[in-house]
Structure 1
Amino acid sequence: MPGLIRGVARTAAVAGTATAVSNRVSRRQRGRWAAQQASEAPSPQPASSAQPPPASPAPDMTSKLEQLKQLGELKDQGVLSEAEFEEQKRRILGS
């Protein structure tokens, strides 16, 4: 019986550590993405300049594909759960 309790305690400690690390990585990644999105946000233009900037879909799509690739790697490593992966994927594709 003591061996069983020790095994359960060890499993709980490992699972708790993995959860804490996963949460920390997720928060750090969200912070990086928020900073990246904030730096990519267009600055307000004066009212006299009514022309929008020229569209460049290729770099934007490349950026999205790179983010999706990174998400997939994090999911494969077990850092992101399926729900977290789907939420982040929806945010990337929705923007």
Structure 2
Amino acid sequence: MPGLLRGVARTAVVAGTATAVSGRVQRRQAEKYAGRDAQIAHDRQAAYDEQTYDQQAPPPAAPPPAAAPQVDIVSQLKSLAELRDQGILTEDEFTAQKAKILGT
């Protein structure tokens, strides 16, 4: 019986040692690869953010200044008045073109 007890005790020691070593190896590998996994996750997120940023619509163009169309209207009316004064346009043609420019 002492031989049987010794064999069981030896098996228990070997199994316990193997479990302890296995757990230690597993923890060390987890610690070793945790940094690598974190770096991979960071790189993937950065690439995703960059891709998302590139796909965003460009900012809307600035609206044109409000004064520019008025100056254009004024210059067109002056040109029409000069044509009327020179006799190239009749009063009716001048009035029609003026209404068209003013949008009335």
TM-score by length of 1: 0.45
Q: Which has the higher contact order (CA 8 A, sep 6+)?
A: 1
Structure number having the greater helix percentage: 2
